Amino acid sequence: MTVAFDRNPETDGLAPDRVPAILRHRRGHMWLSLAVILAIGLVTGLGSAYLAVDNAPAFDTLELGVWQARPLQGTTEADPYSAATHARTGRVPLASGEGLIFLARSDSAGATLSPACDYLLEGQAAPARLWTLTALDAGLRLSDTGAERSGLHSRQVLRRPDGSFAVHVAARARAGNWLPSARDADGLVLALRLYDTPLTTGTGVANVPMPEITRGDCR
């Protein structure tokens, strides 16, 4: 009675549909796939997190020439990368009601500051009631200069009649304004701390003067 058609509309629906290849069950591949996903995830995730925390991306950086400040660093409003870096290093930030730390890692020509070179800082500092200038190493620790004092502040700096100043950054003592640096230090970063400055409120950032840094003799 039954006629064997190739496709029977009555029974066709009873047979399972042909499973597309991509959905077909493949034995033994699931664990391998999971392992691959996990490996890629761990390597990229942990690697990128380490790099990001080790060298925080510069969100909300205030740049004035070669000088960079991060007003939000060390506050509760800091971005997560900055917060992670900050927590890991245990640094004590300068809070907004106190002042702002500007760091210079390169000279005005764009070359990275080197402890083997002498530098000349020239110009004016941004408005502040008080500023201090110190030489740090690449890890932002104080450089061991062997000199009696570890920095220079705005009340001891000698100025020209127009209010500008020139500071020699050198390992050997210089006439005039001298900031001792350490020739054998691991890197050189100049830190200019502005105390009680209107810059912390973010007002008047345009046309604010900051000293230019020019390279002198190197050894």
Residue numbers of the site for other proteins (CB under 8 A)? 21-22, 33, 36-46, 48-49, 52-53, 74-76, 78, 80-81, 83-84, 86-99, 101, 129-130, 132, 134, 140-145, 150-151, 153, 155-156, 182, 193, 195-196
In this structure, the number of other CB atoms found within 10 A of the CB of residue 75 comes to 14
Half-sphere exposure of 121 (CA within 13 A, CB side): 32
Shortest Å distance, C-beta 30 to other proteins? 11
Q: Closer to other proteins at the Cβ: 12 or 77?
A: 77
Contact at 8 Å (CB) between 190 and 135? Answer: yes
Q: Closer to other proteins at the Cβ: 11 or 201?
A: 201
Shortest Å distance, C-beta 1 to other proteins? 37
Q: Closer to other proteins at the Cβ: 114 or 145?
A: 145
Q: Closer to other proteins at the Cβ: 34 or 109?
A: 34
**DSSP letter string over 157-184?**
--B-TTS-EEEEEESS--SSEEEE--TT
Q: How far apart are CA 157 and CA 170, in angstroms?
A: 16
Shortest Å distance, C-beta 72 to other proteins? 10
In degrees and rounded to multiples of 5, residue 142 shows phi and psi of: -65, 135
Shortest Å distance, C-beta 59 to other proteins? 13
User: CA 208 from chain center: how many Å?
Assistant: 22
